């Protein structure tokens, strides 16, 4: 057997290192308020070692905050996406801001998201943009797509808040005292997930809301009611992925069938997850099949968008100029 010298081993080791691609380096920015030139809290994830291929706006659900998408966002960022996740008014970091603007307000939250979508499109005019939403966030994602049909290229809707399984008993007595604080920990334990790790994760997170007034809860339920109707208003060229667990204790999973029948687009993908509860994406404990479903769907549509989108030149300083990045993705 021919013996290899130490010099040769060292030489080939150097070649091996030089030939190794740079490792993904996902950076999370927690103070990305400059995106909106205002004090709206926004998280941003990006791999600084690669050229971005798309933008995703991740919208959280009731009691959550943008940071709960950390695991999903890290994966998507490592695949070339810039992920932005705002805190909705009254949730997350808004809770430490004792001002009128910081109070729970879904209409203002939707305005914040619309502004974020437009700012992201102005900053990255040649990148396709997708909205991801879980639970109540899915309804806001659909509404955002309706408001911005020239910008939003697709939707990922996880456990969309369509028909709540309302357990009104504990709340009926509270409606007579609408400003009384309701402790949410018992409901999180019972309904959030079939996975005890996800439940404990939510309970231990200081930014997950643990108290709402009875009035705020009823207001939230009322705000979800039009969500099925939003599906009818979605532009026919916007594709979407719907994900639903069959053990969802908060929402009626069969309402997804009505959603896909209401939507006009032909590019619909529905993925059912057996023995899964409500929280599918807003957790660090995302199973590989779940995270791969999202990533694979996005990567497929990003590739399609890159082949069909014309190059658009937009001034980065003129956020009022919006990129015309509407792509025909219908079959």
Give the orientation angle of helix 288-308 with respect to helix 70-78, to 10 degrees: 40
Question: Mapping DSSP to helix (H, G, I), strand (E, B) and coil, where does residue 309 land?
Answer: coil
2, 16, 19, 20, 254 from 11: Cα distances, Å: 17, 9, 12, 15, 61
Q: Which of 99, 76, 103, 100 minimizes the C-alpha distance to 88?
A: 103
- Stretches where the chain sits below pLDDT 50 are 1-21, 311-331
Q: What is the reported pLDDT for 105?
A: 87
Token pair in block for residue 326: 């509407």
Q: What is the reported pLDDT for 31?
A: 76
Model confidence pLDDT, tens digit, residues 75-108: 999 999 999 999 999 898 887 776 777 788 899 9
- For the chain, domains (ranges, CATH) are 22-166+225-308 (3.40.50.1820)
As a whole number of angstroms, the distance between CA 212 and CA 104 comes to 10
20, 122, 131 from 314: Cα distances, Å: 36, 7, 22
N-terminal to C-terminal alpha carbon distance within the chain: 60
Q: What is the reported pLDDT for 320?
A: 30
Judge whether 81 and 55 are in contact, CB under 8 Å. yes
As a whole number of angstroms, the distance between CA 156 and CA 240 comes to 6
As a whole number of angstroms, the distance between CA 177 and CA 9 comes to 77
Q: What is the reported pLDDT for 107?
A: 92
């Amino acid at each position: 057997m021919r013996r290899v010298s130490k010099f040769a081993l060292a030489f080939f080791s150097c070649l091996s290192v030089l030939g190794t691609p740079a490792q993904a380096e996902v950076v999370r920015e927690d103070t990305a308020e400059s995106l909106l030139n205002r004090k709206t809290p926004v998280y941003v994830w990006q791999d600084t070692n690669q050229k971005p291929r798309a933008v995703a706006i991740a919208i959280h659900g009731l009691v959550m905050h943008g940071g709960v998408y950390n695991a999903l966002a890290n994966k998507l960022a490592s695949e070339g996406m810039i992920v932005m996740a705002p805190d909705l008014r009254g949730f997350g970091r808004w809770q430490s801001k004792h001002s009128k603007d910081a109070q729970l307000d879904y209409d203002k939250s939707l305005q914040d998201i619309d502004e974020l979508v437009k700012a992201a499109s102005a900053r990255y005019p040649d990148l396709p943009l997708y909205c991801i939403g879980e639970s109540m966030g899915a309804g806001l994602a659909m509404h955002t797509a309706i408001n911005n049909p020239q910008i939003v290229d697709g939707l990922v809707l996880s456990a969309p808040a369509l028909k709540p399984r309302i357990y009104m008993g504990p709340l009926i007595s509270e409606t007579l005292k609408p400003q009384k604080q309701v402790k949410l920990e018992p409901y999180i334990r019972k309904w959030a997930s079939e996975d005890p790790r996800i439940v404990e994760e939510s309970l231990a997170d200081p930014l997950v809301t643990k108290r709402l007034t009875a009035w705020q809860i009823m207001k939230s339920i009322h705000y979800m009611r039009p969500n099925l109707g939003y599906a009818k208003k979605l532009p026919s060229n916007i594709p979407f992925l719907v994900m639903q667990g069959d053990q969802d204790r908060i929402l009626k999973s069969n309402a997804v069938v009505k959603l896909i029948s209401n939507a006009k687009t032909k590019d619909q993908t529905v993925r059912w997850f057996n023995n899964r509860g409500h929280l599918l994406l807003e957790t660090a404990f995302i199973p590989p099949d779940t995270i791969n479903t999202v990533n694979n769907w996005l990567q497929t549509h990003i590739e399609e968008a890159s082949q069909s989108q014309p190059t658009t030149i937009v001034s980065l300083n003129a956020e009022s100029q919006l990129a015309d990045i509407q792509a025909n993705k219908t079959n």
